[in-house]
Amino acid sequence: MRTNFPGCGVIAKDIGNMRRRFMGTSTEENSRLYQFISKLSDDGYYVQYMVNSKNELAAFFFTHDDCIARARRFLEIIVIDATYKTNKHKLPYVNIVGVSNVSREAKSLASFVVAGAWVPSESATSFTWVMEQLQALVYPVGSKWQPAVIISDQSQALMHAMDSVFPDAVKLLCQLHIQRNFEAHLKKLFVNPDSLDNALGEIKSICASKHCDDLERYLEAFKKLAVENTLDKGKKAMEYLDR
């Protein structure tokens, strides 16, 4: 196990504890989990895990030397998306990436992996555990390495966890998730598909607007569409917009 970042990740004693925890049972699944975690550790990954009352793996967090180094170099922005369910156990996967100005294309930014985690549920408890591991391994308390801005979806549980562990970071919502959330909400309100498409177009313009005059124009256009194409004359649509 590498020791570039003291106090982070798995040490020899942890490996022994994992062996006793997972290999001490007769289940083939736990044996595979131990082998998987050991392989990650051998490959330079830092691993944190949590088990439930049945001695089963409940949550799993990992990062790597290279990820930590790059995350500490590019501190301005991290993006957290916890909507994936890509494994056979249907566990939510928390994807944490950073943004750098090192890109193959001069006019674009590049993203890079900071860390990942599987959690038992999309709850405040699960997300807080993930944020605590992220802090312990990548952005230690009291260090000069602290994220300036965290972008996420509109998950209240995730936002609560971010505020709890990283209170000084600016929290922003991902534009894509904002648009998806509006689509899911507005499709229940608008009376026909065409008016819904037009309204979502205005929402996209609102999110992308860079000047106050443009923003006001798009807001008025959305309000007009909502008033003319919803049964409550736009009341619920405007309430959602004002949230």
pLDDT at 178: 82
The H or E element containing residue 134 is helix 124-137
| For the chain, domain boundaries | 12-173, 176-241
CA 185 – CA 190 distance, rounded (Å):
10
Q: State the chain's mean pLDDT as an integer.
A: 82
Q: What is the DSSP letter of 173?
A: E
pLDDT at 12: 46
Per-residue confidence at 174, pLDDT binned at 50, 70, 90? confident
pLDDT digit string (tens) for 142-169? Answer: 999 999 999 998 788 999 999 999 999 9
pLDDT at 53: 79
pLDDT digit string (tens) for 92-118? Answer: 889 999 988 765 555 556 889 999 998
Whether pLDDT at 235 is above 70: yes
CA 205 – CA 185 distance, rounded (Å):
18
pLDDT at 24: 47
Tell if the pTM clears 0.85, that is, is over it. Answer: no
The tokens of 222 are what? 């959305």
3-class DSSP state of 64: strand
The tokens of 243 are what? 């949230």
Instruction: Give the torsion sign (CA, 173, 175, 180, 184).
Output: positive
Query: Taking residues 115-139, what's their average pLDDT?
Result: 93
The tokens of 37 are what? 């975690």
pLDDT at 56: 72
pLDDT at 5: 39
Whether pLDDT at 10 is above 70: no
| CA-wise closest residue to 74 among 21, 126, 37, 111 | 111
> b/e string for 58-92 if b means 16 or more Cβ within 10 A?
bbbbbbbbebbebbbebbebbbbbbeeeeeeeebb
pLDDT at 83: 64
pLDDT at 11: 43
pLDDT at 2: 37
Phi/psi-derived region of residue 86, left when phi > 0, alpha when psi is between -120 and 50, beta in every other case: alpha
Per-residue confidence at 54, pLDDT binned at 50, 70, 90? confident
Query: Taking residues 198-212, what's their average pLDDT?
Result: 90
**Least confident among 16-20, 84-88, 164-168, 179-183:** 16-20
